[in-house]
Homo-oligomer: A and B are copies of this chain.
Amino acid sequence: MKGLSDEEARIWHAWKRASDTVRARVAEEIGAATGLSDPDFGILTRLEDLGDGTLRQSELAASMGWHRSRLSHQLTRMEERGLVLRDAAAGPGVTVSLTPAGSAAVAAARPVHAEAVRRHLVSRIPSAELARLTEVLERLGDAST
């Protein structure tokens, strides 16, 4: 078959639009409240949740699914803004740590994030369908061909 059917085109457009808008709305609220960007928030929460405010760069990259260079660029920008620190690690590699400013920012951002996720995603999905939709989304994100 050459093109998409009307039904297929419709879900594709709805998918693109919903992907963009939900992410953008949540990011916008966090940014307005705290000045943190979406990638900033991701890094800072990982540092708190996985490490004790400190992680090796390679672990951080793996946990986010990022390439080394992406993380390096991002950390350079965040370091300039005083959100994180980099130090030579005990073993190989580099250790990343939250600064007090980074901790404060993520503490301020978490409730805003939770509120935004509820308002823009969770509360717009009928609760009877939440579990089923979660399964479908997880299947869509699975590795495969």
Which A residues have a C-beta under 8 Å from some C-beta of B?
A: 1-4, 7-8, 10-12, 14-23, 110-111, 113-114, 117-118, 120-122, 124-126, 129-134, 136-141
Contact = CB atoms under 8 A, between A and B. Distances in A.
Identical copies in the complex = 2
B14 A138 contact: yes
A131 B7 CA distance: 8
B2 A110 contact: yes
Contacts of A138: 14, 17-18
A36 to B, nearest CB: 16
A18 B125 contact: no
A96 B24 CA distance: 29
Contacts of A15: 22, 121, 137
